[in-house]
Amino acid sequence: VRTGLESGWTPEQIAGRLTLHSGNTVVSAKSIYKWLYSVYGNAWCCYLPSRQYRQRKRRKKVRKVLIPHRRFIELRPRGAISRRRRGHFEGDTLGVPKGTGETLAAVVDRASRYFLAVKIKRLAHAVDGYRKMLDGHRVYSFTLDNGVEHVRYEELDIPTFFSHPYRSWEKPVIENTFQRLRRFIPKRARLKDYSDKQISVMVERMNRTPRKCLNYRTPEEVFKGIKFNRNRTIGCRI
């Protein structure tokens, strides 16, 4: 095999020639490749005539950042699962279009669908955005996904739970809310083109829009416990 490699033969040619010489199979081409790509035959890879068969350098694996002390959604209080009690929130980031690091951090109440959003310069600031929005509200639970931006979740000092990896449907309220927000901010849009005031107007409009799941009350009315006023005009100017 070594002599054949030094002569510039391929493993298939070597295996075929040995079979022809001996009258039966001595070694297969697959076995030769396996030997070449092992520590024992690696030095002979340089004799392979075709580049596509030369061993590729292994890339260093990216080390995954594990979220410490993570608890999954099965452990959430009953009020979070049934959505009957206000104060159980879901949170996430809108995503980062190519060429920009600016995005939105957002939270939504599971029971009332009350929505809050704030611009952040980088995904790494997501937890700071959540803290700013949840400050002053009574929070019984907070549901997040397993994004690396949530590694610092313990700084929030609130009961936090995580959906299982690759199961975005386990936090449906924030996903649905983002889908509604896309009516105002389409995909691939750059957040730097929207001012903080414009974002605030969009959020307020969503919170003042009646929802069928709330018996056509608005998220703002349900979240803040505002009694329905029959004399109130349809629509709102913001």
Chain segment 80-99, per-residue pLDDT in tens: 999 999 999 999 999 876 66
- Tell me the pLDDT tens digit for each residue of 43-75: 888 888 765 555 556 666 655 668 999 999 999
The Cα-based distances of 75 to 7, 17, 141, 144 in angstroms read 66, 65, 10, 13
Q: What integer pLDDT is reported at residue 192 of this predicted model? A: 87
Q: Evaluate whether 162 touches 73 at the Cβ level (below 8 Å).
A: yes
Q: Does pLDDT of 182 surpass 50?
A: yes
Q: What percent of the chain has pLDDT over 90?
A: 61
Q: What integer pLDDT is reported at residue 55 of this predicted model? A: 52
Give the lowest-confidence range in 27-31, 167-171, 233-237. Answer: 233-237
Q: What integer pLDDT is reported at residue 147 of this predicted model? A: 92
Give the lowest-confidence range in 135-144, 171-180, 181-190. Answer: 181-190
The Cα-based distances of 156 to 52, 85, 151, 174, 207 in angstroms read 51, 21, 11, 19, 24
Q: Does pLDDT of 201 surpass 90?
A: yes
Q: What residues have CB less than 8 Å from 149, skipping those under 6 apart?
A: 93, 123, 124, 126, 127
Q: What count of other Cβ atoms lies within 10 Å of the Cβ of residue 90?
A: 26
User: If we measure between CA atoms, which residue out of 48, 35, 36 comes closest to residue 6?
Assistant: 48
pLDDT, averaged across the chain: 88
Q: Which residues are bridge partners to 161 per DSSP?
A: 143
Tell me which of 230 and 40 has the higher pLDDT: 40
